[in-house]
A and B are shown apart, each in its own frame.
Chain A
Amino acid sequence: MSSNSKSTLTRIGAVALSGAVLIGFAAPALANDADVIRRGSCSGASDWKLKASPENNRIEVEGEVDSNVNGQNWRWRMLHNGSVSARGTATTSGPSGSFDVRRLMVDLAGTDRIGWRATNPATGETCRGSLGF
């Protein structure tokens, strides 16, 4: 291997290393470390996701159900330390056949337990998830 080829490989290696370092530092800026995310499978073929993020002395809670079927009606509830913080109904839509709900909760002292419940009355499928924030 000539000295020129060695020099070229060295340069490529340096650029690649620099890129890796840059990517390594940039990644935390794109994803919020304070977010807490949980995912799981429902009793049927659907999946659920529960995400909590800090928001100005509040907790922004996002609950999601992905059934891959459009037009399904679901009943959902959000629990905060065991009591119902919000409830409602939603219909799956979009290419993925999903729905999501966002609500703000009061960020109480200590760890807040947040629960996510969704039920499809037509199929009887249920989704249950929780996280600590």
Chain B
Amino acid sequence: MGITPHNRTARPVWQQPVVQFVVAGLAVAVFLAWVTGVLGERLAQEQAIEDARATTELLAETVVEPALSTGLLDTEAGDLDRFDRLVRSRVLGDEVVRVKVWDADGRIVYSDEPRLIDRVFELGDDQQVVLDNGGSDAEVSDLSKSENSLDQGLERVLEVYTRVEAPGGEPLLFELYLTDDNLEARADELFRLFRPLTVGGLLLFLLLTTPLVWILSRRADAAAADRERLLVMAADASDAERRRVARDLHDGVVQDLAGTSFALSGIARDVEAGSALDRPRLNADLERLAAAVRRSLLALRSLLVEIYPPQLQAAGLGAALQDLVAQAEQAGVDVHVSVEDADGLSDNATALIWRTAQECVRNALRHAAPGRLDVTVVSEGMPAVARLVVADDGRGFDPGAAVAAESFGLRGLRDLAAEAGGTLTVESGVGQGTRVTLGVPAR
């Protein structure tokens, strides 16, 4: 029973390479979008902090410090009012939500939140460093600190402080609280900058490569289908070969050996009876039986050669082909085998030539009833091509009509020849014999 290629059922969508490629690409795009978002936010935060420090230092130098007065330090109400009006008109806004001025003792000299004025809190280490050494610093505000107890309504804010000096030279700490609305807007802006470069680039790459992946996938599928077809054909050929060997053994050697066995049993009985022993006849019978055994041995040897040819290398190709055609010679076919310049053939070329010759000789004996059979191997050209020609003068066939009925073996050989970079052609006509030509690279 032959094996047929199983139907190639359509794979589920998620197992299709193109879909997997696109899904993986989109996953990478989403990941990149997330990464650029995180990086954008981080960069935006760093940039916002730098901008906040610069803004704070500029306001301190140009607005706050010139407006400081000794009366402010002494909590004079009029000085507080004037400073407050200045802060409300030129410092506070959408971005700046709180202003504090501290003295070195941690007393809040001024705040736009009047309830904080004149209250004392412990300065943090960073604040003390700025107060002592100048410069500025920024951090996300800890709204749980007692100095921020009146700021619980605020969202996340950035706390920036820098040093200013009162008219008498006393160092003060000027502190601003800035909302991070600007920070989020800046992160969005940076994200918009990165997104076309990363995510957009990847999506464009996906768009361009998906058709290529689709084409490659189709080709891979086609190659897999070819391989599967060849495997099935090889399995079918092997199955047919086993059946043929069994049939040949049953119809040939087994029948001959059975007949020989019966004949020997009869002779044995005659010898045991001892009566009327006709020695000349006995001698002739034994000679005939010996010849039958030799024919069986020859048939078995020919069968063995067919199953696995000995010395199937370039040097042994001629002898292997002679063994191959022994059965045809026995059948009375005029066989001519010629092998020239075959010493340099590669093992693959040798095996393909022998396999093709085997199939052709077998087909000729089975279907063509030839009177003459020529098997020729030559190596020619540069680069060298090994050419096998198997020609018979048998009944031939119509090549156009024979395609469907062509043996699996010949079709398989044509595929094998193509895989080896060669060609196999069949020329025939009804009553005109058959000529099969195989050309393969010799090396």
Contacts and interface: CB of A to CB of B under 8 A. Distances in A.
Contacts of B77: 80-83, 85, 105-106, 108, 112
A108 B117 CA distance: 8
Nearest to B74: A83
Contacts, number: 51
Contacts of A84: 78
B114 A106 contact: yes
B20 to A, nearest CB: 62
A83 B71 contact: yes
Interface string A86-127: 100000000000000001111111001000000000000000
A105 B81 contact: yes
Interface in B40-91: 71, 76-82, 84-85, 88
B327 to A, nearest CB: 117
B80 A104 contact: no
Q: Which of B79, B82, B84 has the most CB of A within 10 A?
A: B82
A57 interface: yes
Q: Which of B71, B76, B81, B114 has the most CB of A within 10 A?
A: B81
B337 to A, nearest CB: 117
A57 B80 contact: no
B305 to A, nearest CB: 112
A57 B76 contact: no
A109 B75 CA distance: 12
A52 to B, nearest CB: 13
Contacts of A80: 77-78, 80-81
Contacts of A131: none
B122 interface: no
Contacts of B113: 57
B117 to A, nearest CB: 7
A106 to B, nearest CB: 5
A98 B415 CA distance: 114
- DSSP majority for the A interface? strand
26 contacts: A57-B113, A57-B115, A58-B84, A58-B114, A80-B78, A80-B80, A81-B76, A83-B71, A83-B77, A83-B78, A83-B79, A85-B78, A86-B78, A86-B82, A103-B81, A104-B81, A104-B84, A104-B85, A104-B88, A105-B81, A106-B84, A106-B114, A106-B117, A107-B114, A108-B80, A109-B118
Nearest to A80: B77
A86 B113 CA distance: 20
A85 B114 contact: no
Contacts of B79: 83
- DSSP majority for the B interface? helix
A80 to B, nearest CB: 4
Given A83-B71, A83-B76, A106 B81 contact: yes
A37 interface: no
A114 to B, nearest CB: 9
B115 A85 contact: no
A104 B77 CA distance: 12
Given A80-B80, A81-B78, A85-B77, 19 more contacts: A80-B77, A80-B78, A80-B81, A81-B76, A82-B77, A83-B71, A83-B76, A84-B78, A85-B81, A85-B82, A86-B85, A104-B81, A104-B88, A105-B81, A106-B114, A107-B114, A108-B77, A109-B115, A109-B118
Contacts of B78: 79-81, 83-86
A107 B113 CA distance: 10
Task: Please name the 5 residue pairs, one residue from A and one from B, whose CB atoms are nearest each other, closest first.
Answer: A83-B78, A80-B77, A81-B77, A85-B81, A85-B78
A57 B114 contact: yes
Contacts of B114: 57-58, 106-108
Contacts of A112: 77
Nearest to A77: B78
B118 to A, nearest CB: 8
B273 to A, nearest CB: 145
Nearest to A104: B85
A6 B84 CA distance: 66
Nearest to B88: A104
Interface in B81-120: 81-82, 84-85, 88, 113-115, 117-118
A60 to B, nearest CB: 12
A105 B77 CA distance: 8
A86 B115 contact: no
